[in-house]
Amino acid sequence: MSAAKRKAFAERLRRKELIAAPGVYDMISAKIADRLGFDCLYMTGYGVVASHLGLPDAGLATYSDMVSRVTQLCALTQTPLAADADTGYGGLLNVQHTVRGYENAGAVAIQLEDQEFPKKCGHMLGRRVVPVEDMVAKIRVALDSRSDPDFKIIARTDSRTTLGLDEALRRAEAFLEAGADILFIESPESVEEMERIGRTFDVPLIANMVEGGRTPILDAQTLQSIGYRMAIFPALGFLAAGAALEAVFARLKERRSSADIDVPLYSFQKFGAMMGFDWVAEFDRKYRGSAE
């Protein structure tokens, strides 16, 4: 199944039409997105750390925390999943271990970045990057560590915010020469900067669309015309879920009841089916003679 997902993603990536990948961060968000027929899902580090640990995306999650989430997400969804792996969780040996772990878990692509440890969310200030040679070495290790050439290596640079776009482009060129499959220049701050990135590279590029972040949110046609092959939306799901939960819980606090609540709710029956209770009922009928 994993090899088929990777092959499908690799073939889809070769097409010029933009891939829109929603950020998933737990099994509820993943199952909902999986049912909608996306070409790819994106496991957001920010969202996973927030939902799993309740902590900021600041280098606090470990390899074990993250690879267990990749494993679960891939096992229970049909859609190819690209996964955030931060800095690789250590030195070059850690990068090798991480790449092999994410590939074995079923991901179709792994995202590695050039931040110093501990890293920060890519749309926060104060990010520092390692020497370009160190990141190039990580990419070389990643390429040599994968067993399936369709398992894509996404190389991300966070240098734009602190060192400027010229340095970000220089680093991306070095990552490409090292063999990276997909380039991710994080947080350009204008449409003009995004256009320059698109003119510079004729390879798969990722646009990070963070609502309220540092990069302009552009429509699909514009992103595609600029030269981007994939757009990730890491925050959209948990921002929407956060707003919905706050609204419905506030109403519950006010009324002390859910009667006549005017916040949209997922159907309980539909939700139960999505979680697999139809299968449980069938299992019980088969083995226990029960129709409950």
CA-CA-CA-CA torsion sign (258, 260, 262, 265): positive
pLDDT of 216 higher than 60: yes
Q: Which of 171-180, 227-236, 269-278 has the lowest mean pLDDT?
A: 269-278
Side chain identity at 118, as an amino acid letter? P
Find out whether 73 and 53 touch, Cβ atoms under 8 Å: no
CA separation for the pair 242, 289 (Å, rounded): 41
The domains found in the chain, sorted by start residue, are 2-241 (3.20.20.60), 263-292 (no CATH)
Find out whether 61 and 42 touch, Cβ atoms under 8 Å: no
SS3 196: helix
Stretch 44-60: mean pLDDT: 91
Q: How confident is the model at residue 121 (pLDDT cuts 50, 70, 90)?
A: low
pLDDT tens by residue, 67-93 = 999 999 999 999 999 999 999 999 999
pLDDT tens by residue, 179-209 = 999 999 999 999 999 999 999 999 999 999 9
Residue 279, number of CB atoms within 10 A of its CB: 10
